[in-house]
Each structure stands twice: as structure tokens, then as C-alpha cells.
């Protein structure tokens, strides 16, 4: 099947500045856009509208937090945006190309080249070392072994776990495992990073460290990020906060910054 989104090299596309971000004369490019997105589940004669007409537009390099109570559909929305679940209706556009009509194989190829996922429970491959977990996505995206190894070394060093490359995931703390999961998600230099409650399984101190890493990497790499979270501190720091309730998405007023002192 032909690709709906042009492939990229392992070193990625243009920088955010070249894309027309801050300091450019052109408006920022749109990484992700949805139109009237709907997801309906039907089982035993019961219909549940998990997503009801969601419209999103995210500029290149934008960092968005999606808030909402448990069961509000945050995970479903991220899974639909990343092609892990099909939309019932509506449109999804990634980097200017419509992708919601892709086949399962087409979505798999798209994720390899343009989308990174971070999950609450890490989802690392237990029978592979940290190094192998991080290098695999780059290899699947078309990098050479040498390129994948260099990318892994850069990411693990950036995330402060370079010394864990040969370890099995089970021998790491929860915070270290989530850092590995983040490195894995970034290994193919995605255009879009989707993170589903990435700190929900961590203690408060470690969660804060991981949130800071997301913010730092968003600033440095210019990757568009969408994070489902309950953490109000993060919503103060991201560019935009949205709330999902009863399948509808709306702007969430950002909490005021804490008073100095």
C-alpha cells in the first residue's frame, strides 16, 4: 500500500524554525487536525458515544494537555488519533494528509515513521534490553543499525539513563522504565507524540521529574505533544489545556501560577 504521509529520514524533517515557527514569516504548520471525530462502542445492545464530534488543530511543536475524569474517553481519543482504534466517523489529518481511511497496515507504517506513543504501564518488551527496546522503533522506521544505535545513545544520555542500556526493563525503577519508554517513543523522531497518563503509575516526585522531561524535550525537539493527564502542574506549563467530558472537548482555563514565595 502506498504511504499517505511522505516518509522521513532518521534525522527528521526541518527544524521548528524552518517550519515557520517562532521567528519565521510563515505561520506554523499544522501537525494534527481532526474534524467531527466520533467514536461509538456498541455491545449487548448498548451504544456508548466515547467521542462526540471532536475538532482539534495542533500546530507544529505545540504541547497540549487533555484533562478529564477517569472514563471520560481520554485514552480512547489518543488511541483513535494514533490509529490504535478506528474512528466511527470524522476525519484525521496528519501533516496535511488525511489518514483516518488508512488500513491497519497503513496505520502501522504511519506510526513507525511519524507517531510516538508513551503508555501509563510502559509496555516495554521484557525479553529485550533497554538498548534493544529503544533501537527497535528506529530500525522499523528505516534507520541503519548504526543510526539507531547513535540515536539510542543520544536519547538515553539526554534522559539520564545511559548506564542502563544493557539492563532488562524489570531491573529498573518505575521512573527509569518510563524514561526508557519515552526514549523509545522518540527513537524514530516522530512528528507527533501521544502520551496516555504517562505518570499515572509513578510516585509524585518521580512523576514531577518525568513531566519536566516532557516539557524539556518539547522545547528542545519541537515535537507536537498530546498528553492525557490529571496533573494540574503540567497544565500550567503546557501551551494549551483541553478538557474531555461526555465525549466533548473544550478549552480548559489554565490554573493560576502559584504565588511567589
200-256 pLDDT, tens digit each: 888 888 888 888 888 888 888 889 999 998 777 767 778 899 999 888 998 877 666
CA distances from 59 to 63, 93, 135, 152, 253 (A): 9, 12, 28, 27, 19
CA distances from 97 to 34, 87, 107, 178 (A): 11, 16, 13, 31
Q: Would you mind telling me the total number of residues written for the chain in this entry?
A: 261
**Scanning the structure block, which residue is given the C-alpha cell 512528528?**
191
Q: What is the pTM of this model?
A: 0.83
pLDDT in tens, 15-45: 333 333 334 444 458 999 999 999 999 988 8
pLDDT in tens, 95-120: 999 999 999 999 999 999 899 999 88
Grid cell in block for residue 191? 512528528
| 160 Rama class: left (phi>0) / alpha (psi -120 to 50) / beta | left
Nearest to 190 by CA among 93, 107, 91, 117: 117
Q: Where are the domains of the chain?
A: 61-85+103-251
pLDDT in tens, 72-99: 889 999 999 999 999 999 999 999 999 9
Predicted confidence at residue 215, as pLDDT, reads 87
- Residue 56 confidence (pLDDT) above 80: yes
Predicted confidence at residue 71, as pLDDT, reads 80
CATH number 3.40.50.970 is the correct assignment for the domain at 61-85+103-251: no
Question: What span, in angstroms and rounded, lies between the C-alpha atoms of 226 and 193?
Answer: 6
Amino acid at each position: 500500500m502506498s504511504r499517505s504521509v511522505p516518509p522521513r529520514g532518521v534525522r527528521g524533517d526541518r527544524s521548528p524554525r524552518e517550519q515557520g515557527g517562532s521567528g519565521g514569516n510563515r505561520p506554523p504548520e499544522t501537525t494534527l487536525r481532526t474534524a467531527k471525530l466520533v467514536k461509538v462502542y456498541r455491545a449487548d445492545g448498548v451504544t456508548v458515544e466515547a467521542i462526540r464530534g471532536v475538532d482539534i488543530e495542533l500546530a507544529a511543536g505545540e504541547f497540549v494537555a487533555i484533562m478529564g475524569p477517569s472514563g471520560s474517553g481520554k485514552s480512547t481519543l489518543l488511541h483513535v488519533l494514533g490509529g490504535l482504534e478506528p474512528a466511527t466517523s470524522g476525519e484525521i489529518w496528519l501533516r496535511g494528509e488525511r489518514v483516518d481511511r488508512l488500513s491497519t497496515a497503513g496505520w502501522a507504517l504511519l506510526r513507525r515513521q511519524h507517531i510516538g506513543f508513551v503508555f501509563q504501564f510502559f509496555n516495554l518488551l521484557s525479553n529485550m534490553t533497554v538498548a534493544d527496546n529503544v533501537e527497535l522503533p528506529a530500525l522499523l522506521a528505516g534507520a541503519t543499525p548504526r543510526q539507531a544505535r547513535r540515536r539510542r545513545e543520544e536519547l538515553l544520555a539526554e534522559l539520564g539513563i545511559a548506564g542502563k542500556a544493557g539492563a532488562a526493563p524489570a531491573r529498573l525503577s518505575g521512573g527509569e522504565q518510563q524514561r526508557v519508554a519515552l526514549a523509545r517513543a522518540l527513537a524514530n523522531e516522530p512528528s507527533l507524540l501521544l502520551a496516555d497518563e504517562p505518570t499515572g503509575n509513578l510516585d509524585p516526585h518521580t512523576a514531577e521529574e518525568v513531566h519536566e522531561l516532557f516539557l524539556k524535550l518539547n522545547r528542545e525537539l519541537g515535537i507536537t505533544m498530546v498528553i492525557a493527564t490529571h496533573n494540574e502542574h503540567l497544565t500550567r506549563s503546557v501551551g494549551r489545556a483541553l478538557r474531555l467530558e461526555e465525549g466533548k472537548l473544550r478549552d480548559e482555563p489554565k490554573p493560576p501560577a502559584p504565588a511567589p514565595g
